């Protein structure tokens, strides 16, 4: 494809045939502008998210400020992930060899459907059918399984998946959707959580809205499940290529329960989660907790390498998931989005996320990272995801806090270019027309001067009155903002007149 006869440099595509995009919970149903409308006017939501993101922002900056070498750690984190992406086949092979040698079993899944089928088969082979006629599994919070819609799929296969992370439990009991990577129930406050628990935990008794009381209720609710369930499903924060080790970073101990007590452990991990070596943890175990929960270290981190004889599950599986990651990898300008370690710092600082909440992004991955990751995984051709790269004022706060230095604003702009090229609306919008006109005018100072020479006339017509209302696309501006009266003359005109006058004065001398 060419623009104005000029070949657009697109090293992003080396293909003869397009790499397929991902499927599952990574596609918006409607454009961001439409979906965000309802969330913006929800006072409770705005209050809850405003309060929570402000709290976590402060905590993060405090613990980041404690480290003099923070910028160097970010640089090292970025370097490590770039190296993984550039050599992904080699690292995957190395990881596979080591994990398998240690007694683990690896399964590869091209997309969500395939991953769901693999997990279902493993659960059916290892979890007993209960009296109810259904099977049960316990789950540790995992973005990958959210992405592929695993719980919903298992439900149709007569398998009940119990979320054990407190926030995921709140979401699951509330028949709700997660709205944040780290704190899926960030859109709920303690009063709402109490109401959900009172309604959905029959044995909980009377509860107050104290977070400690609510946490205790969750402990009692899940304890028996932890001690008796035979199969657990987890995600993974890291896969270590040079040792074949997997790691889960968590707080509550529900992760340890799931990773330790059941007989069978099934982990679903994206192929991009690898780190080159065990030593790289010295960087990532500093970057992740401080960026994520704003703690120096999260309460619990577990690492396992295949199976450990006499310790924990002896039947250990890993599903390596593509589901659009290779498509994102093919985009040279967007590839670094795969470096994401799911800390959620970007959404905590994002002024757009703070006002719309996570549901507006229509994907498992909300906020700034979601606005690039979702369209990268599906392709901007997935039309509604084409609106996500515009869901940003490009303020740059996300890039500043990203522990692996993903330049989110630059990728947003890049994806806007891809969207323009995909040409979703063959009929030009008013904005497109205006921009086309502006490009013509601004390509030549004389044309701009000519356009500005209309200012005295416009000024004579409109006078000193400011502009409070305009039709068409400009009405989107004047819906909430007035516009100053136009000046009588542009600076260019004033400058030319002054120059002429000065020269005239020189001549007179």
- Judged by DSSP in three states, 264 sits in strand
Exactly one of 65, 72, 130, 457 binds other proteins (CB under 8 A); that residue is 72
How far apart are alpha carbons 159 and 119 in whole angstroms?
Answer: 11
Q: Count of CB atoms within 10 A of residue 388's CB? A: 32
Asked whether position 257 contacts other proteins by CB under 8 A, the answer is: yes
Exactly one of 64, 137, 159, 166 binds other proteins (CB under 8 A); that residue is 166
How far apart are alpha carbons 300 and 10 in whole angstroms?
Answer: 44
Q: Count of CB atoms within 10 A of residue 308's CB? A: 13
Site for other proteins in 132-161 (CB under 8 A): none
Any idea which residue has 């984190």 for tokens?
77
Any idea which residue has 């490590």 for tokens?
80
Asked whether position 305 contacts other proteins by CB under 8 A, the answer is: yes
Give the interface segment with other proteins, choosing from 149-157, 255-263, 339-347, 368-376 (CB under 8 A).
255-263
Nearer to other proteins, 134 or 297 (CB): 297
Site for other proteins in 40-59 (CB under 8 A): 40-44, 46-56, 59
Asked whether position 491 contacts other proteins by CB under 8 A, the answer is: yes
Residues 6+ apart with CB under 8 A from 485: 459, 462, 463, 464, 465, 466, 467
- Closest listed residue to residue 386, CA positions, set 1, 21, 10, 12: 21
Exactly one of 126, 179, 245, 267 binds other proteins (CB under 8 A); that residue is 245
Exactly one of 302, 315, 344, 385 binds other proteins (CB under 8 A); that residue is 302
Nearer to other proteins, 155 or 308 (CB): 308
Asked whether position 75 contacts other proteins by CB under 8 A, the answer is: yes
Asked whether position 403 contacts other proteins by CB under 8 A, the answer is: no
Shortest Å distance, C-beta 160 to other proteins: 19
Asked whether position 428 contacts other proteins by CB under 8 A, the answer is: no
Residues 6+ apart with CB under 8 A from 40: 46, 355, 356
Give the interface segment with other proteins, choosing from 21-29, 128-136, 365-373, 463-471 (CB under 8 A).
463-471
Asked whether position 365 contacts other proteins by CB under 8 A, the answer is: no
Shortest Å distance, C-beta 305 to other proteins: 5
Exactly one of 157, 410, 456, 459 binds other proteins (CB under 8 A); that residue is 410
Asked whether position 378 contacts other proteins by CB under 8 A, the answer is: no
Shortest Å distance, C-beta 58 to other proteins: 10
Shortest Å distance, C-beta 131 to other proteins: 20
Exactly one of 113, 124, 176, 242 binds other proteins (CB under 8 A); that residue is 242
Burial of 62-75, coded b for 16+ CB within 10 Å and e otherwise, reads ebbeeeeebeebbe
Residue pair 244/102 in contact by the 8 Å Cβ criterion: yes
Asked whether position 127 contacts other proteins by CB under 8 A, the answer is: no
Asked whether position 400 contacts other proteins by CB under 8 A, the answer is: yes
Number of residues that bind other proteins (CB under 8 A): 203
Beta-strand runs (E) in 373-485: none
How far apart are alpha carbons 176 and 196 in whole angstroms?
Answer: 11
Per-residue contact flags (x/-) with other proteins for residues 322 to 341, judged by CB under 8 A: x---xx-xx-----------
Exactly one of 30, 191, 199, 497 binds other proteins (CB under 8 A); that residue is 191
Alpha helices in 345-422 (DSSP H): 345-349, 351-356, 367-378, 397-401, 408-422
How far apart are alpha carbons 405 and 357 in whole angstroms?
Answer: 23
Shortest Å distance, C-beta 403 to other proteins: 12
End-to-end distance of the chain based on CA atoms, in angstroms? 61
Taking phi first (over 0 means left), then psi (-120 to 50 degrees means alpha), and beta for anything else, what does residue 6 get? beta
CA–CA distance from 467 to each of 18, 183, 277, 446 (Å)? 49, 44, 61, 27
Give the interface segment with other proteins, choosing from 122-130, 144-152, 289-297, 361-369 (CB under 8 A).
289-297
How far apart are alpha carbons 369 and 401 in whole angstroms?
Answer: 12
Give the interface segment with other proteins, choosing from 122-130, 149-157, 212-220, 363-371 (CB under 8 A).
212-220
């Amino acid at each position: 494809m060419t623009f104005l006869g000029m070949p657009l440099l697109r090293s992003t595509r080396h293909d003869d045939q397009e790499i397929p995009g991902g499927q599952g919970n990574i596609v918006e149903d409607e454009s961001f502008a439409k979906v965000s409308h309802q969330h913006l006017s929800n006072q409770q939501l705005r209050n809850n998210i405003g309060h929570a993101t402000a709290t976590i922002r402060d905590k993060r900056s405090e613990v980041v400020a404690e480290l003099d070498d923070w910028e160097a750690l970010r640089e090292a984190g970025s370097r490590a992930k770039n190296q993984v992406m550039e050599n992904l086949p080699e690292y995957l092979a190395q990881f596979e060899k080591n994990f398998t040698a240690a007694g683990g079993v690896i399964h590869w899944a091209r997309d969500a459907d395939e991953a769901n089928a693999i997990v279902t088969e493993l659960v059916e082979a290892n979890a007993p059918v209960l009296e109810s006629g259904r099977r049960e599994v316990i789950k540790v919070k995992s973005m990958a399984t959210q992405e592929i819609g695993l719980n919903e799929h298992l439900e149709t296969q007569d398998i009940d998946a119990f979320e054990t992370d407190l926030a995921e439990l709140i979401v699951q009991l509330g028949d709700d959707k997660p709205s944040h990577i780290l704190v899926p129930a960030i859109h709920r406050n303690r009063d709402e959580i109490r109401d959900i628990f009172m309604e959905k935990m029959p044995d909980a008794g009377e509860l107050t809205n104290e977070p400690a009381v609510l946490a205790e209720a969750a402990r009692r609710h899940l304890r028996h499940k932890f001690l008796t369930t035979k199969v657990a499903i987890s995600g993974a924060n890291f896969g270590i290529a040079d040792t074949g080790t997997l790691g889960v970073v968590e707080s509550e101990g529900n992760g340890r329960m799931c990773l330790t007590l059941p007989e069978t452990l099934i982990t679903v991990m994206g192929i991009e989660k690898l780190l080159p070596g065990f030593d790289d943890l010295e960087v990532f175990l500093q970057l992740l907790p401080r960026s994520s929960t704003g703690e120096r270290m999260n309460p619990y981190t577990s690492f396992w390498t295949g199976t450990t004889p006499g310790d924990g599950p002896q039947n250990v599986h890993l599903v390596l998931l593509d589901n659009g990651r290779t498509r994102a990898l093919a985009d040279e300008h967007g590839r670094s989005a795969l470096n994401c370690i799911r800390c959620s710092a970007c959404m905590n600082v994002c002024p757009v996320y703070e006002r719309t909440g996570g549901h507006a992004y229509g994907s498992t991955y909300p906020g700034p990272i979601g606005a690039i990751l979702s369209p990268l995984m599906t392709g901007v051709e997935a039309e509604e995801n084409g609106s996500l790269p515009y869901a940003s004022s490009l303020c740059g706060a996300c890039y500043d806090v990203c522990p692996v230095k993903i330049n989110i604003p630059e990728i947003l702009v890049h994806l806007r270019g891809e969207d323009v090229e995909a040409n979703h609306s063959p009929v030009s919008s008013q904005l497109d027309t205006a921009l086309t006109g502006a490009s013509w005018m601004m390509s030549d100072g004389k044309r701009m001067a000519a356009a500005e020479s209309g200012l005295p006339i416009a000024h004579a017509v409109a006078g000193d009155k400011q502009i409070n209302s305009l039709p068409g696309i400009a009405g989107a501006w004047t819906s909430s903002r007035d516009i100053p009266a136009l000046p009588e003359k542009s600076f260019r005109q004033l400058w030319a007149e002054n120059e002429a006058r000065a020269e005239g004065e020189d001549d007179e001398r």
